[in-house]
Every structure is written in structure tokens, then in C-alpha cells.
Structure 1
Amino acid sequence: MGLRAQVRTRDGWAVQHAVVTVTDMTGTQVLRADADGEGSVRTDAPLPAGPYTVVVTAAGYAPAASTALVTASGRANAGTFVLARQGGVELPPPGPWTIDPAHSSVAAVAQHLGISSVHGRFTGFGGRIEIAEDLAKSRVDAVITAASIDTGNGMRDGHLKSPDFLDVERFPEITYAGTGITPAGPDRWTVHGELALHGIARPVELDLSYLGTGPDPWGGVRAAFRATAELRREDFAINYNQVVQAGISAIGATLRVELDIQAVQGEQLPQA
């Protein structure tokens, strides 16, 4: 007897902190219950037969409502309520997520000679994402090994590691500390944070898309993200350049950073 309901996100995750309120046709509240750790609501007390309005609310989500019919047995099955994040966008369930370098990439693109692009990537990096119940307080912390730059050309990589550019002997790590996140569209977010590069820390925003979650072959759960940012080299005192002809430099003044990230739910990566 009583009410039965499930509360889920669009990705199928349980909303553990949901509150279910039931009112009769006069608007009088007859029942209030909290979802359990599985996002389930189960009450035992029977309800008088008839139609009721069921409203589900949860912090950070838009409310949902439906009509439920209580049978003569005093039972109503309200089904599954799917809650959308406020603003119409989703992120993974709250908690820690560990970046998996083996299935992620950190890349940078620079203009070369004004007519083409040079693509590079960093092969050494790691980090952690913390999705907060209050999404605005979510965090990300990442560390990149500067000497792991790889553009596919050993001579060019050596120059990029030199004092003309990254100066990896003096500044072996590039770090990013994200301190908050705000919605930027129906499926996009802006990550606010600080990038420390070449010994200089500057505010840098990431344009983030959340691509979804799913199980992996090792019994874990993974979330995927794509993010981009544009950096001005002069903001980080990386001023080396070579003018090849009037008005054209060998290397562009800006870098486009492209991140494809897989993160595993939990504090650490699965053992190989």
C-alpha cells in the first residue's frame, strides 16, 4: 500500500535528495516523502482512493509533476520521474571523478606562417573533477608535464621545451585550477579557473560540453567531456617569434587548447 515512485536524472542516475509531495484535488498536502539512496520512494500508509497530484523537487533540478490515481487498495504507482538540471543542462552525478590519461587528450593548435596550423599534444597529465551538489561550486584540478609536449617533430619539440617557449627546466608543470562552473547554453558550460603556465597564473575560462556517461569494461562508470580555450602567448610571457616577412610571423600570437577528457567515477583509476 502507499505510494511508489522512482526519481532519476536524464542519464538514469538516482536523485537521492529528491522530495515527493502528494496533494489531493483541493490542493491539500496528504503526503511528503524523501527518496532513498536508490532514488526510490516507498510509503506504507494507504491513501484514500482517487486522483492526486504528485510533485517532485530536488535542489539543482527543475521540479516535475504528474497525476496519480490511488486504487481501492490504497496504493498508487506514480512511475519514474525524470528531473532535468536547472537551466536545461546535465552534468554527471555529484562526487569525485578521476581523469584517465590513457583515454584522454590535451592538445594545442598554433598558426604557422599565417597559412596553416601546427598541432601538438601533451602526453603526461592527470587530474580530478569534483561535481558538487551546488553545480556552481564544482571544481577541477589538473597538472600537465610541460616536457611531455609532442608535435611529431623532435627538433621542434626541443625548441618548444627551451627557454624560448615553455622553459621546462624552470617550469616543469602546467596547472589548471577550476573554481566554479556556470551554464552557457542548453548543452554547454563555462568553467572558471586559473591557468599557471611559464611561471605566470592567469584566469582562463574553458568552454565545456558534457558528452554523457556510461559503464566501462572494468566495472566502473565513465564520463566524457570536451573543452576548448584560447590563450594569448604574451599573457604568459612566451614572446619568442620570428618574422619571416613583413606582417607575417612564423608562429601565431594565440593558441587554441583542445581537451577530450574521460573521467572515472571515484577517487582513483581502476587497477590495470
Structure 2
Amino acid sequence: MNAVPPAETHQLTGVWQIAPHSEVSFTLRHLMARVRGSFTSFGGTITVGDDPTRSSVRAEIDTASVDTRNADRDKHLRSADYFDTDTHPTAHFESVTVRVQDNGGYRVEGFMTIRGESRPVTLDLVLLGVAEDPWGGTRAGFRASTRISRSDFGVTGNVPLPGGRALIGDSVGIALEIEAVRQQ
């Protein structure tokens, strides 16, 4: 997918609210396959400066909203073995730096906090476009991805398997499909 060239991002200047029908999803290894899941409750603000490198992102995820389409697994993910949602009901991301890439995309560097543990994370981001919506507003589309080590955030629950393997992999792919609405 082609990114919108940085020269055309001037129409993005302003404050944008992440729309609730956006998507925050993840994948990780479970036995010999990949498991996919998402979070159904999240929000955030994207502030875009005249110079895209002066932009910022703040986002929050309700960790109890985890959904892997398996109620028993989701209940276990909410437990102290994983997200510990009673003690840590939210995960956060706050950007520190935005860099324009040669391919027209962006690298958004910041800190992610899960279970009270903050670690640096870099999102590879693509601006998908900006358009007027049928209700008189303006919307922007973004796609971003990153990969984290869940154990870096204290999410260490697992089941050992023969041969030194584990039931669940440590590497987690995170994918964001964001629609944002310009605030007045």
C-alpha cells in the first residue's frame, strides 16, 4: 500500500480523536499456529503539527476488553497470569518522536505501558488518506504495526512443553487500523 507523501500531510494539522470502530489487534504463537485477538475498547488522540515530526500520539486500551473469540482463554488472559486487569485495567502508549521515512511512511517512537511496565516501542505508520465524511467532519486513516516481547512487560504466563518449548510464544505482533476524526 502506498503512503500519502509527507508533502500532502498539511491537511492533517490539528487534533484527531481515534474512532471507536478502529482496530487494535495482536498475533502470537500458540503451540504450532498463530492466535489472533483484539481489544474492543480503546481511545486516544493524535495531534499533528504543521511539521509532521512535531506530532504526537496518546492512546489507552482497556485490557479487560481482550477478545480472542474464546471466552475461557479471554478470562485467563484477564487474570494475574497475563494482563492482571483487576490491578492494571489499562495499557498506554505515548509517543516521544515522529520521524518521516524515505518510503513516505513514519516511525513513531514512544513508550508503551502494560501491567505497569513501560518500555520503548516503535510503530511503523502509514497515512492512508484524509477525506470529508458525510456528516460534515474530516477523517484520516492510519495503519501501524510493531512487535514486542510480552515478557518485557511482565506478561509471563505460560505452560512448559516437552523439548524446552512453551505453549505460548513471547513475540507479539501488534497491528492498528485507525480511523480518526478531526476535532473542532
Q: TM-score, normalised by structure 2?
A: 0.93
2:119 equivalent in structure 1: 202
Structure 1 Cα separation of the partners of residues 11 and 162 of structure 2 = 50
Report whether the alignment pairs 1:111 with 2:29.
yes
Contact preservation (8 Å) 1:92, 1:212: no
Structure 1 Cα separation of the partners of residues 40 and 28 of structure 2 = 18
Larger radius of gyration: 1
Q: Pick one of 145, 155, 160 that aligns with 1:243.
A: 160
Contact preservation (8 Å) 1:137, 1:179: no
Unaligned runs of 5+ in 2: none
Q: SS of the residue aligned with 1:246?
A: helix
RMSD over equivalenced CA pairs, Å: 1.6
State the identity %: 36
Structure 1 Cα separation of the partners of residues 167 and 94 of structure 2 = 31
Q: Pick one of 15, 27, 31 that aligns with 1:96.
A: 15
Q: Pick one of 139, 151, 158 that aligns with 2:56.
A: 139
Contact preservation (8 Å) 1:98, 1:263: yes
| Aligned residue runs from structure 1 range 176-215, under 5 A | 176-215=93-132
The Cα of 1:239 is off from its aligned counterpart by 1.4
The Cα of 1:185 is off from its aligned counterpart by 2.8
Structure 2 Cα separation of the partners of residues 158 and 249 of structure 1 = 20
Change in Cα spacing, 1:226 to 1:85, as seen in structure 2 (3 Å) is: closer
Q: SS of the residue aligned with 2:12?
A: coil
Q: SS of the residue aligned with 1:185?
A: coil
Change in Cα spacing, 1:107 to 1:128, as seen in structure 2 (3 Å) is: same
Deviations 1:87-126 (A, max 9, x none): xx74752110111012x0000111111x211111000001
Structure 2 Cα separation of the partners of residues 192 and 214 of structure 1 = 26
Q: SS of the residue aligned with 1:257?
A: strand
Unaligned runs of 5+ in 1: 1-10, 12-83, 268-272
The count of corresponding residues between Structure 1 and Structure 2 is 181
| Aligned residue runs from structure 1 range 1-272, under 5 A | 85=6, 90=9, 92-102=11-21, 104-113=22-31, 115-266=32-183
Could you say which structure has the greater relative contact order, defined with CA pairs below 8 angstroms and 6 or more residues apart?
2
Structure 1 Cα separation of the partners of residues 160 and 98 of structure 2 = 39
